[in-house]
Amino acid sequence: MTDPRPAPVRAWHDVVRTQDLDRLDDLLADHVVFRSPAVHTPQEGKALTTAYLTAALLVLGPGLTYHRELVGEDSAMLEFTTVVGGKQVHGIDLMRWDGEGRLVEFTVMVRPLQGLTALVEAMGEALQRRS
């Protein structure tokens, strides 16, 4: 049976499952915008978005589990949970793609505050290591 989800959603799940971050190059549009709960300003462009998504996958770790998806014609909402720094994290990934199936927007929202705080701290450390 084939996966009925749109190609960008399947591709994102493949990146998460395999941790093959090289796949992000084909998945992200050059002008993609990433909105993180860790920083105030949107991060624009493929290079910055790749850096943030790479750090996020390292921080969210093997406990990252997707539970529900709401999928539209050009967008999706994926609900997830994980543990970061011993704190429960519950969040959603909002993604929108263009006609070529490349992500043009990726927004992450996280709760509760303790989980967000742990995530922000861990993301800061992961991004520092990458630079």
- Give pLDDT, residue 131: 66
DSSP letter assigned to residue 40: S
- Give pLDDT, residue 39: 83
Is 28 exposed, middle or buried (CB count within 10 Å of its CB: 0-12, 13-18, 19+)? buried
Residue 65: pLDDT band with limits 50, 70, 90: very high
What are the DSSP E strand ranges found in the chain?
28-35, 43-44, 65-71, 75-84, 87-97, 103-111
- pLDDT (tens digit per residue) in 79-104: 999 999 999 999 999 999 999 999 99
pTM (2 decimals)?
0.91
Query: Which residue from 94, 100, 79 is spatially nearest to 28, judged by alpha carbons?
Result: 100
Mean pLDDT, to the nearest integer, of 66-76? 97
- HEC string of 4-33 equals CCCHHHHHHHHHHHHCCHHHHHHHEEEEEE
Residue 4: pLDDT band with limits 50, 70, 90: confident
Least confident of 45-59, 85-99, 117-131: 117-131
Q: Where are the domains of the chain?
A: 7-130
Mean pLDDT, to the nearest integer, of 45-66? 92
Please identify, in words, the CATH class of the domain defined by 7-130. alpha beta
